[in-house]
Amino acid sequence: MTVNPADSPVLGALYGTDAMRAAMGERAFLQRMLDVEVALARAQARLGIIPAEAAEEIARVADVDRLDLAAMAAGTRNTGYPVVALVKQLSACAGPEAGKWTHWGATTQDIMDSAVVLMMRQGLALIRMDLVQLNAALAVLARSHRGTVMAGRTHLQHALPITFGYKVAVWLSPLITMVERLDQMRPRVERVQFGGAAGTLASLSGQGLLVQRELARELGLAVPDITWHVARDGFAEAVCLLGLICGALSKLATDVMLLMQTEVAEVSEPHVAGRGGSSTMPQKRNPIACEYVLAQARGVHALVPQMLAAMAQDLERGTGPWQAEALAIGQAFNLTHGAIMQARLIAEGVVVDAARMRRNLNITGGMIVAERVMMGLAPILGRNEAHHVLNHACDVALAEGRPLADVLLTDPQIAARMLPGQIHELTDPEQYVGDCFAFTDRVLARLAH
């Protein structure tokens, strides 16, 4: 049975991904804890602390399929942690001689935290891989629509002309930065946890730091400067980054959803028969991918404060905040990956209606480039007067339903200073996209490097 839809066999098709569930689920957690126990035994065998034969026997039997999950659950319910039950079963499987060397000098949190780090390493690799693919798809879209002129909108109203390539580049730029942030963050997150009962490694009689170093090498993790049992900034940073990624994806999804409105209809999600349909309205093609980007992003954003609050750990072992992390980390990773995959679906198959963009660009009869006319008149009339004149001309054009150029041609102040050809040129939206091309090229150049 599942409670969270992201983990269910039916609704899980909409939330998260099978790959991330495999990386961050309970089965993976149990196996990763076993992996840490194996790595600890091998590290200590290399240092001559435990017999090499014991380490190899521990490694041979450390398989999640050998665990009695019912007994694990009973033990976990009794102690409050899964490690005691796990070590008990691992020791039994390894036999009396090898089993007595399991978990040597470690504490429960060492095993659990290091296991979560291993899971996060795999989760971050998945996120990075698909984020890179998403960025590549957006780059293709930005490049192919570099010159596709459309209406730029502020406060949901026509503002100035832009290009669709520029809009896509605005989506793409922060996502390129997200990959950079992820790469910069990983060394701060992918660190071994090994400190013993109170973080001091006192039980290993002066060999603790050597064991820590060898354990880190065995797991392919970094060695921290100090035990981080109650210093949770690494895990919190990872989930905060997921929140940032989801925020950037939300911008993309919100824009596409607005542009898919029937009255706008400039872009649409890729259509597959039956996708986005309605049980009662056969004509519907709803923005399903956009909706699930936003839904999953909001789920992640709700989990970020939980991780930040969990940084308030008490003394040398948290009593509650540490345990709260488990409720947030796996779901944040799963929902983020799900949001990325929905965004990939959009980016790789979005349908762009350039003709509709042109029609929408012209529905205000040239008023979308009123700023250009104002700036053309400003050297003659002064900026404030030019603004006043254009504001009045736009009011007349709106009230009478006339193109802006026609109104301007009948305004004595303007007609006396500009030829009709100049006015028509100034009111051509395609001639007023500013540095859209240059900005788009800058973003694409970042991705190329």
On whether the CB atoms of residues 112 and 229 are closer than 8 A, the answer is: no
Task: Among 50-59, 227-236, 272-281, name the one with the lowest average pLDDT.
Answer: 272-281
pLDDT tens-place string over residues 237-263: 999 999 999 999 999 999 999 999 999
From the candidates 77, 188, 275, 278, which is the catalytic residue? Answer: 278
Residue 366 banded pLDDT, cuts 50, 70, 90: confident
Whether residue 20 is predicted with pLDDT greater than 90 in this model: the reply is yes
pLDDT tens-place string over residues 112-135: 999 999 999 999 999 999 999 999
Residue 281 banded pLDDT, cuts 50, 70, 90: low
Whether residue 219 is predicted with pLDDT greater than 80 in this model: the reply is yes
Distance from C-alpha of 268 to C-alpha of 275, rounded to nearest angstrom: 12
Whether residue 166 is predicted with pLDDT greater than 80 in this model: the reply is yes
Per-residue pLDDT, 377: 80
On whether the CB atoms of residues 243 and 249 are closer than 8 A, the answer is: no
On whether the CB atoms of residues 249 and 294 are closer than 8 A, the answer is: no
Amino acid at 117: V
On whether the CB atoms of residues 39 and 219 are closer than 8 A, the answer is: yes
Per-residue pLDDT, 97: 94
On whether the CB atoms of residues 172 and 135 are closer than 8 A, the answer is: yes
Whether residue 397 is predicted with pLDDT greater than 90 in this model: the reply is no
Per-residue pLDDT, 222: 98
Element (H, E) at 272: none
> How high is the mean pLDDT of the chain?
93
Name the percent of the chain lying above pLDDT 70.
97
Distance from C-alpha of 377 to C-alpha of 318, rounded to nearest angstrom: 68
Per-residue pLDDT, 279: 54
Per-residue pLDDT, 284: 58
Residue 276 banded pLDDT, cuts 50, 70, 90: low
Active site annotation includes 144: no
pLDDT tens-place string over residues 137-163: 999 999 999 999 999 999 999 999 999
Task: Among 174-188, 284-298, 411-425, name the one with the lowest average pLDDT.
Answer: 411-425
- Taken in order of first residue, the domains within the chain and their CATH numbers are 5-358 (1.20.200.10), 366-426 (1.10.40.30)
**Residue 151 per-residue DSSP state:** E
pLDDT tens-place string over residues 315-339: 999 898 999 999 999 999 999 999 9
From the candidates 128, 181, 285, 317, which is the catalytic residue? Answer: 317
Per-residue pLDDT, 388: 86
**Residue 118 per-residue DSSP state:** H
Whether residue 266 is predicted with pLDDT greater than 90 in this model: the reply is yes
- Token readout for 21 is 């569930």
Greater confidence (92 vs 406) lies with: 92
pTM flag (> 0.75): yes
Per-residue pLDDT, 382: 85
Greater confidence (425 vs 103) lies with: 103
Per-residue pLDDT, 206: 92
Active site annotation includes 186: no
Average pLDDT over residues 216-241: 97
On whether the CB atoms of residues 232 and 322 are closer than 8 A, the answer is: yes
pLDDT tens-place string over residues 405-425: 888 888 887 888 778 888 888
Whether residue 383 is predicted with pLDDT greater than 90 in this model: the reply is no
